[in-house]
Chain A
Amino acid sequence: MKENDLSQAIQSHIKSALNNKTPLAIEGGNSKSFLGRKINIANKLDLSGHQGVVAYEPTELAITVRSGSKLKDVEELLLKNNQQFAFEPPAFGENATIGGMVAAGLSGPRRPYAGSVRDAVLGVKIINGKGEILEYGGRVMKNVAGYDVSRLMVGAMGTLGVLLEVSFKLQPKPQYSLTLSHTVSAETALKKMLGWRRKNTPVDATTWFDGNLYFRLSSSEQVVANAQKILGGEVINHADNFWSEIKNQQHHFFTQEKNIWRLSLPATLASTDKTAKELIEWDGQQRWLADDIPASEIRQYAEDLSGHATLFRAERSQNEPFHPLPGMLLKLHQQLKAALDPESIFNPGRMYKEL
């Protein structure tokens, strides 16, 4: 990985944008440009050159990296030390950066069992909308000094500040993993997954589509072998590729010429009842629908199940990507945006039109 600290240049760029009152479009590797609202901003703030590892001590299970570092490079480095990001981030492209991973806040298959991106974030160095370099959190596991600005940055789509560095908690790579499958209906799959959640099983990934439930067991070889005896199923080979295709959405389910909706729901037996067009993950807590039915219907449906819906990949729709916020909550979001980015120069409109 290149070592390249561009903090000063990035800060100058932001300050001149502030002087000229021109909004900035923040870019990492552009791998997630499909996500969120389309904004037409000419002044790009490219962070992809701001690379390198600021601190990595494998024995501390923590790493601090510059935001432009490629996710791929960081994951390679971690792997050399037999460590990983517990949340198995999707990359959606070779050039995905750490900054983009945090700003989008997306987690992969292991998320329900080992936590999300935000759960792993320990600290950040950011530039706020006044052009000031600020640090919150740190590299230690516990830290309650000041409000949790670090985690606030996760999933904010760059609208609250420019990430310069992020510190993460890491996880040892599991000694051994095995992926199995059962041919079952969505309903039976949900029942099985909910049952496993109630016990100590080494399940750390699940997905269902096209009449098959796939699940991964991770632990020591002995523990996995014993769980396999109890849970049964057919062994899936090349499982790493399998899970990578799911999380990076290279699987054919995601490449249909339809709107791809993401439903985030509580663990429930409720079927999304669109069986043929549904891909279930996270024990039913993340469901993907490839569907052209109206946004309002899908959103209402998710709300009825106490969840929310994101238009993740819009094929031909002009709909808002993110689930609308109730009025008072939106107002609080606007006040918070104004507190961190008073001139509204960071990615205005990328997340919600009002932010």
Chain B
Amino acid sequence: MLPDHTPAALSSEQKQSLINGLATLLPDNILLYKDEDLHPYECDGLSVYRQTPLAVALPETIEQIKAILRYCSDNNLPVVARGAGTGLSGGAYPLADGVLLGLSKFNRILKIDPDARTATVEPGVRNLAISEAVAQHNLFYAPDPSSQIACSIGGNVAENSGGVHCLKYGLTVHNILQLKILTMDGELLTVGSEALDSPGYDLLALMTGSEGLLGIITEITVKLLPKPERVQVLLAAFDNVETAGEAVANIIANGIIPAGLEMMDNPSIRASEDFVHAGYPVDAAAILLCELDGGNEEVSELVMQVRELLLSNGAVEVRTAESDEERARFWAGRKSAFPAVGRISPDYYCMDGTIPRKALGKILAEISRLSEQYQLQVANVFHAGDGNLHPLILYDANNPGELEKAEKFGGEILTRCVEVGGTITGEHGVGIEKLDQMCVQFTAEELEQLHAIKSAFDPQGLLNPGKAVPTLHRCAEFGAMHVHKGELPFPELPRF
């Protein structure tokens, strides 16, 4: 998968002159351009795709970012923002003719206001560092991607990241108040406000999940919540994956919104158990982890209710964590599921489709059918309460053609997700990875409108070009387009 961007053919003299131009604007140690220095920045979490950028800039001040952006605007150089590089869709994949703008040095927590329940931080601050810094006030920042020890809050905003606790507390978009952004021409704008709403259009929502295509996020004010008085986790085992799926739908249908409701299937259970010894029932077809939090009595009541619901919905065993250690152990298995799967397979490909909860059983059956067809194993780990699936397709990149096969399989899963009323990405973003699937989800007019929105922010098209929204040309080539009301899409474009 490659971005929809044709790199400018720069001669080595041109490259050198651009690098020199940039270097004169910045103090030493800010600009990297030697091959060995660029190496660590070749990819993000979608590591099968690698590209060396023209240069990497690691600025330390807003003024430096402004100078870089203005220089790039003047010289028509693309700019790709990078937080911690944990993104799974190639959002921070560098461009050969562009500057990779690393924000890791912006790692300060600027202000904590316990009365307002807010924290103002720089974009390179790690997600978990926020909760750690505010813990002394008995507060926490709710969205908790599994990558939270590493990923940056700037990256979280750019991807609208979710996590285990988003079922109850919402996604990044629900948990931020204000952003400072730099537009491509170096203007600093404040969007949102410290209050709950702000005048004008909801640019805060528009910026969230914009994958670095609309502006560079330089400051974030997040909402904080009081730590729950009590937290309990239930672990339920099922001897059938579909039954587990129905149990999820029934818990929610009964008006209970757990803090987290996660599911793992047998291959994931086994891989995790071998890796962290969480004490999971390794013969179960699926397990559900259900976290309940809140006030003391509230949690007691909920634990009883959910326990009964699980049993009456076919759980063969329900355990309640008896101590904080046991609770941590229950979660350890889930949180390390990706690396655990990484141990049993040379490579895996992580998908991110979302579906209506009621379609869980159906889609899981479909995935196992496709798994047979493609002769590739799948381990399922997911945010079941939200209907957000992460099938991990196991493959070996050393076997010729297997990566392509895994991608095709993944693409089919996403198409099925769209067919049952879902979406191609719940939280990992489109990046370069799902450009083709965007053609399935959206019509030509819808994509054009998205391009027009980008132009309103970035008329030259220099911020992370070729990512997140495919060109119509690419969709025509891809062929599997959205057929809208029986009309052939993109009729004006040549077929290949």
Contacts and interface: CB of A to CB of B under 8 A. Distances in A.
Nearest to A331: B187
Interface stretch (A92-100, A128-136, A247-255): A128-136
Contact of A147 (B189, B209, B428): B209
A138 interface: yes
Contacts of A325: 199-200
A322 to B, nearest CB: 5
A60 B159 contact: no
Contacts of A148: 160, 173, 205-206, 208-210
A146 B195 contact: no
Interface string A130-167: 10111110111111111111011011100010000000
A306 B177 CA distance: 12
A172 B302 CA distance: 14
A289 interface: no
B456 interface: yes
A168 to B, nearest CB: 14
B298 A220 contact: yes
A140 B355 contact: yes
Contact of A267 (B115, B183, B357, B423): B115
Interface string B442-473: 11011001101111110000000000110000
B422 to A, nearest CB: 5
A264 B285 CA distance: 51
A130 B166 CA distance: 36
Interface string B188-203: 0111011111111111
Interface string B229-273: 100000000000000000001101101110000000000000000
A12 to B, nearest CB: 16
B249 A59 contact: yes
B424 interface: yes
A143 B423 contact: yes
A268 B116 contact: yes
B421 to A, nearest CB: 6
Contacts of B354: 140-143
Given A60-B358, A61-B252, A332-B203, A134 B449 contact: yes
Interface residues of A, number: 84
B281 to A, nearest CB: 27
A70 B452 CA distance: 33
Interface string A218-239: 0110110011000000000000
B458 to A, nearest CB: 10
B356 interface: yes
Contacts of A324: 199
A146 B469 contact: yes
B162 interface: yes
A116 B115 contact: no
A148 B172 CA distance: 13
Contacts of B446: 134-136, 146
B388 interface: yes
Given A59-B253, A134-B446, A145-B438, A307 B195 contact: yes
Interface in B309-360: 354-358
A143 B425 contact: yes
A214 interface: no
B114 A198 contact: yes
A58 B255 CA distance: 10
B386 A142 contact: yes
Nearest to B388: A142
Interface in A66-121: 82, 105, 111-112, 115-116, 118-119
Contacts of A115: 170, 174
Contact of A144 (B160, B167, B202, B445): B160
A199 B445 CA distance: 48
Instruction: Please tell me the size bucket of the interface on B.
Output: 35 or more
A172 B226 contact: no
Nearest to A58: B253
A211 interface: no
B202 A155 contact: yes
Contact of A142 (B171, B196, B434, B452): B171
A217 B88 CA distance: 42
Contacts of A119: 170, 173-174
A202 interface: yes
A330 B187 CA distance: 13
B124 to A, nearest CB: 21
A276 interface: no
A151 B205 contact: yes
Contacts of A340: 449, 452-453
Nearest to B386: A141
Interface in B388-434: 388, 421-430, 434
B441 interface: yes
A116 B175 CA distance: 12
Contact of B298 (A147, A223, A329): A223
A140 B387 contact: yes
A338 interface: yes
Nearest to B183: A332
Interface in A35-67: 57-62
A335 B358 CA distance: 41
Given A155-B197, A223-B295, A223-B298, 20 more contacts: A57-B356, A59-B357, A62-B356, A119-B173, A138-B422, A139-B421, A140-B354, A141-B167, A142-B387, A145-B442, A149-B450, A156-B202, A197-B226, A199-B229, A219-B298, A266-B113, A310-B199, A324-B199, A339-B449, A339-B452
Q: Which 6 A-B pairs have the closest CB atoms?
A: A172-B255, A151-B205, A59-B253, A142-B426, A335-B456, A323-B199
Interface of B: 113-118, 137-139, 159-160, 162, 166-167, 170-171, 173-174, 183, 187, 189-191, 193-203, 205-206, 208-210, 214, 226, 228-229, 249-250, 252-253, 255-257, 294-295, 297-298, 301, 354-358, 383, 386-388, 421-430, 434, 437-438, 441-443, 445-446, 449-450, 452-457, 468-469
Interface of A: 57-62, 82, 105, 111-112, 115-116, 118-119, 128, 130, 132-136, 138-149, 151-152, 154-156, 160, 171-173, 194, 197-202, 219-220, 222-223, 226-227, 264-269, 282, 285-286, 306-308, 310, 322-325, 328-330, 332-333, 335-336, 338-340, 351-352
